[in-house]
């Protein structure tokens, strides 16, 4: 992304912006001077995340619904005119189950958000970035360290997050001609309500034990996304991993 001195930092859209990592990233982008569309299923947490920022737009949207996704990006375009950054963040942990116990309905629900939703949002962003002048933009897909190494009994989440690796690489390849870059951002144990619930009383380990794991302030993840968002489009960061120091990831199991 290139911009003239004194111009706005850029225009961004964040999915899953009402809570957790999405909320932290949306607020950090707003604080950094970006115009930001905050998208999610529930209006109240989105409005709370956007509070006090005149350059925030709140849009309720179900990312699994193609029509609602198109409406979301149309609302962003009407307000901000262009899209420089998509933080493709909406996701769900899904059920705790191995592949032998996985309920098909639970699988469908997890895949709908984590794969279909991510693809629909990336597609809408890609079309907008390809068509705008100046052309281009950056898509940051929230992968998870489970895109590299699973936790026990996480087959639905792990499988869908592995799919994000393929999505990000495809965006990066197909976006070359249009100045569109993509990053798979794999995050481990950023402190949010969901992570606290997962690891706070001891997370299940590969040997069957439970262990209280280190966590990190989600603000560090948000700061990292802002740094990515500020990079010129001559710079590509295809994959980036950030974890709480000392958590069981390298050598997990």
pLDDT reported for residue 4: 36
Residue 155 lies in a domain: yes
Q: What is the mean pLDDT of the chain?
A: 92
Query: What six digits make up the tokens of 169?
Result: 């690489």
Whether 175 is in a domain gets the answer: yes
**Catalytic, out of 73, 87, 107, 157:** 157
What's 31's domain CATH number?
3.40.50.720
Under DSSP, is residue 210 helix (H, G, I), strand (E, B) or coil? strand
Burial per residue of 52-70, b for 16 or more beta-carbon CB atoms within 10 angstroms, e otherwise: ebebbbbbbbbbbeeebbe
**What domain count does the chain have?**
1
Neighbours of 196 (CB within 10 A): 12
Is position 249 within any domain?
no
pTM to 2 decimal places: 0.92
Contact by Cβ (8 Å): 61, 121:
no
Higher pLDDT, 250 or 124: 124
Q: Which domain holds residue 197?
A: 10-243
Catalytic residue status for 161: yes
Alpha carbon 111 to chain centroid, angstroms: 15
β pairing state of 203-204 and 210-211 = antiparallel
8 near 33, Cβ under 8 Å?
yes
- Residue 250, domain member (yes or no): no
Token pair 């940051």 is found at 140
* 201 within some domain: yes
Asked, for residue 88, whether it belongs to a domain, the answer is: yes
Is 184 domain-assigned?
yes
CA 146-222-45 angle, 5° bins: 90
Beta strands in 66-136 (DSSP E): 85-88
- How far the first Cα of the chain sits from its last, in Å, is 41
At 163-194, the pLDDT tens digits run 999 999 999 999 999 999 999 999 988 988 76
Per-residue pLDDT for 84 more than 90?
yes
Helix (H) or strand (E) holding 242: strand 239-243
Question: 3-state DSSP call for residue 85?
Answer: strand
CA distance 90 to 158: 15
In a domain, 2, yes or no: no
Question: Is there a contact between 117 and 167 (Cβ–Cβ < 8 Å)?
Answer: no
- Which of the residues 138, 161, 191, 230 is marked catalytic? 161
Residue 154 has pLDDT above 50, yes or no: yes
Q: Are 122 and 73 contacting, i.e. CB atoms less than 8 angstroms apart?
A: no
Answer yes or no: is pLDDT of 7 > 80.
Answer: no
Name, in order, each residue with C-beta under 8 angstroms of 196's C-beta and a sequence gap of 6 or more: 215
Q: What per-residue confidence (pLDDT) applies to 51? A: 95
């Amino acid at each position: 992304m290139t911009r003239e001195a004194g111009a706005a930092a850029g225009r961004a859209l964040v999915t899953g912006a009402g809570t957790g990592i999405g909320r932290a990233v949306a607020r950090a982008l707003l604080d950094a001077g970006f115009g930001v569309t905050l998208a999610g299923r529930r209006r109240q947490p989105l409005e709370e995340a956007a509070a006090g920022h005149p350059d925030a737009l709140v849009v309720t949207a179900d990312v699994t619904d193609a029509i609602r996704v198109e409406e979301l990006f149309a609302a962003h375009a009407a307000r901000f005119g262009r899209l420089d950054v998509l933080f493709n963040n909406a996701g769900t942990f899904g059920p705790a189950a191995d592949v032998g116990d996985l309920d098909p309905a639970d699988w469908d629900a997890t895949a709908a958000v984590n794969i279909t939703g991510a693809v629909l949002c990336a597609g809408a962003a890609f079309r907008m970035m390809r068509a705008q002048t100046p052309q281009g933009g950056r898509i940051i897909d929230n992968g998870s360290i489970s895109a590299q190494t699973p936790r026990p009994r996480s087959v639905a989440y792990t499988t869908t997050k592995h799919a994000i690796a393929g999505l990000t690489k495809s965006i990066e390849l197909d976006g070359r001609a249009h100045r569109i870059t993509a990053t798979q951002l794999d995050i481990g144990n950023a402190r949010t309500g969901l992570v606290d619930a997962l690891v706070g009383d001891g997370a299940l380990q590969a040997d069957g034990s439970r262990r209280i794991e280190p966590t990190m302030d989600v603000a560090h993840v948000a700061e990292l996304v802002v740094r990515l968002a500020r990079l010129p489009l001559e710079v590509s960061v295809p994959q980036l991993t950030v974890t709480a120091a000392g958590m069981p990831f390298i050598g997990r199991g």
